[in-house]
Amino acid sequence: MRLLAPALVLCGALMTACTGQEPAKPAESGVVALVNGKAITRATYSGRLGTVTGNPDVRTAIRQNSSLLPRLSGDVLSQMIDAELIEQAAAEIGVQVTDHELRDYIGRIVRDDLGGGPDAWQRFLRSSGYPESEVELALHQDLVREEVEDVLAPQARPSEQQVTEYFGSYYRDRPFVRHILVDEESQAARTLDKLRTGADFARLARELSTDHESAAQGGDLGPFAEGEYPASVEAAVEAAKDGDTIGPVQSAFGWHIIQRQAPLDIARAHDTIVQHLREVEQDRQVQLWVAGLRGKATVTVAPEFGSWNSSTGKVAS
């Protein structure tokens, strides 16, 4: 699942300009952008920006560097414009996500990624800090994108040579790492005790970890790569032996329980690599498609944001 990452910035419900009437101008107080005549309202934009800046990590970054806020404001609007372009063009190639499909998608996420159970969804929402409406809008856009990928690159599959080369670059001789991230040291200690008495690591990661992206994969962080983790986590992994489960380890993100596993051989890593390379190619095809949409689009933004660049897809003053 590609979203539910800390910067949840995808397009929501937009206001359509009235047919047959002069379209709204971005300079008007209620509209921040027009995308092929369709309005992104200031209320929708403000809600999305508030969701992003409400994230604790983002708030901390802004406090440390106030110049980030104007750039973030432009990035949020840029992503909303892209999301609207995709939504409009998806319908033209036969992609349309219904409410029923969205509910089924959420159900699969709850079952496969959040550990199941009657309160798994609400527990996830509480721990993520995002409003349910924002999460559902993001999931809707994620599902649209997945269906677009299937239309644009249905047969994308890497060659065996590509798989072998990728394995050699990113997997060979590298320990495999999993973690569970929680807010409190005491909770991390209790989690470690459960693991030492036989609890399943992947199940606890899905139920407890506040790193939702890795939690959806049972805590998997993939093959170890220097510079990819907080320094304390990296040091703990390097000091551990294959098969060790260690912690609690503190970082700026909270408290980690870490499991170091032996490197995967190519047979065990094969399907994961194929899926990753397939997604990379699908994403490349979608990016080319979106670049084409930008080139044909008519987009105007409120003067306070500067202008929209169709080549980069960015709003900048």
Which pLDDT tens digit goes with each residue over 188-244? 999 999 999 999 999 999 889 988 889 888 999 999 998 889 999 999 999 999 999
pLDDT exceeds 60 at position 109: yes
Helix (H, G, I), strand (E, B) or coil at 260: strand
Instruction: Categorize the per-residue pLDDT at 23 as very low, low, confident or very high, splitting at 50, 70 and 90.
Output: very low
Q: What phi and psi, each to the nearest 5 degrees, are found at residue 39? A: -90, 135
What class has domain 15-155+276-316?
mainly alpha
Compute the chain's Rg from CA coordinates. Answer: 22
CATH number 2.40.160.40 given to 174-261: no
Among candidate residues 259, 256, 129, 113, the one with its CA nearest the CA of residue 181:
256
Kind and range of the H or E run holding 309: strand 307-309
pLDDT: which is higher, 113 or 164: 164
Label residue 19 by pLDDT band (50, 70, 90). very low
The predicted structure's pLDDT at residue 130: 78
The domains spanning 15-155+276-316 and 174-261 adopt the same CATH topology: no
pLDDT digits (tens, 9 = 90+) for 232-286: 999 999 999 999 999 999 998 999 999 999 999 999 999 999 999 999 998 999 9
Q: Pull the structure tokens for residue 156.
A: 């994308």
Residue 153 CA from chain centroid, whole number:
21
Instruction: Count CA atoms within 13 Å of residue 223 on its CB side.
Output: 17
Q: How far is residue 221's CA from residue 214's CA, in Å, rounded to a whole number?
A: 6
- pLDDT at residue 66, as a whole number: 85
| Global pTM value | 0.71
**Domain coordinates in residue numbering, the chain:** 15-155+276-316, 174-261
The mean predicted confidence, pLDDT, of the chain is: 86
